Amino acid sequence: MTKADSRPQPDTTRRDLLRHLTGVVAGSAVLAAATAAGGAPPNQTVIAPEGGLDFADGHDATAWAFIDRNGGVAFDGSAGHRWAMLVDLRKCIGCQACTVACKFENNVPDGVFRTLVTDVELARYPDTRRGFLPRLCNHCERPSCVEVCPAGATWQRKDGAVVVDYDRCIGCGACVDGCPYDARFMNPVTATADKCNFCAQRIDQGLLPACVETCVGGARQFGDLADPASPPARALRQDPVQVLKPQTGNQPTVLYIGLPDALQNDLPGTPVLWSRQRIAAGKAATDWQGKE
């Protein structure tokens, strides 16, 4: 195993060599075509997949073909950083621009979401008021989804972002069931677990996540907790900051300002049982799944 691949390794046999070679050949053709068409995108340097089988096994050979802006392999994340998102509910207007931007950026299928804004009614009549709760993967410091994944497909990068390796995911849904924030789902197209990845493909190149960039009210802000000047780090020093379900011990890095007590531990909506999503994604049902 090379330094570029820091994921927990499952106790399974290596994928068929022919599949790997096919991926490398296809990836080389894509890279060659991109170079002929004008080279790499601005501020990106093309590198060959490192480490042979250990690095490229089970991956589309072009998936990690670029280094990040700091010169490291983008796949690994940036050591020394700890990405976090700050959501100021005083500024959220419930426009769903973040939801739409995420759909476009990450090609999320219909009916499922990596992020969305829940529209809720707070308090009781006649003192009711409308509230909005943007939700996404919390990229926890101690992610329970990583612990329960039997294939090593869910893992935490050096910069804290929790991501899914779709080539390793076996679609068991254990991580979906193990997330206390109902932030994961079974992708009906890929038949694998899916979720927000902080737009890793963007932050590795110095860009903001799509939801942050399109937030019309500036309610979503993104930054490095290791940088005292970043919005999340400043908020921790200056504002009353809350997280969802703090009693879980997951230590989320999605921070909220103005989070109502009624929503902190009682998230709106009915969680979807992973077994039903598994069936919808084309996975085989089992006898006990019909007894939910």
The mean-pLDDT minimum among 56-70, 177-191, 207-221, 271-285 falls in 56-70
Tokens, residue 71: 């010169």
CA end-to-end distance (rounded Å), the chain: 41
- Which residues have a Cβ under 8 Å from the Cβ of 201 and sit 6 or more positions away? 74
pTM score: 0.72
pLDDT at 53: 42
In whole angstroms, what is the distance from residue 252 CA to residue 259 CA? 14
The mean-pLDDT minimum among 1-5, 88-92, 255-259 falls in 1-5
Structural domains of the chain sorted by starting position, each given as residue range(s) with its CATH number in brackets: 17-66 (no CATH), 83-280 (3.30.70.20)
| Cα separation values, 147 from 24, 61, 78, 82, Å | 31, 27, 22, 20
In whole angstroms, what is the distance from residue 213 CA to residue 222 CA? 9
Residue 16 has pLDDT above 90, yes or no: no
> Can you say whether residue 99 is alpha, beta or left, with left for phi > 0 and alpha for psi between -120 and 50 degrees?
alpha
| Cα separation values, 28 from 41, 223, 243, 274, Å | 16, 34, 44, 37
The whole-number average pLDDT for the span 263-268 is 84
Tokens, residue 269: 């909506």
pLDDT tens readout for residues 102-160: 999 999 999 899 999 998 888 888 888 888 999 999 999 999 999 999 999 999 999 99
Residue 51's pLDDT band (boundaries 50, 70, 90)?
A: very low
Residue 257 has pLDDT above 90, yes or no: yes
| Cα separation values, 238 from 231, 241, 243, 282, Å | 10, 9, 16, 48
For residues 79 and 160, the answer to whether their CB atoms sit within 8 Å is no
| CA neighbor of 50 nearest in space, from 34, 36, 64 | 64
Q: Letter for the amino acid at 173?
A: G
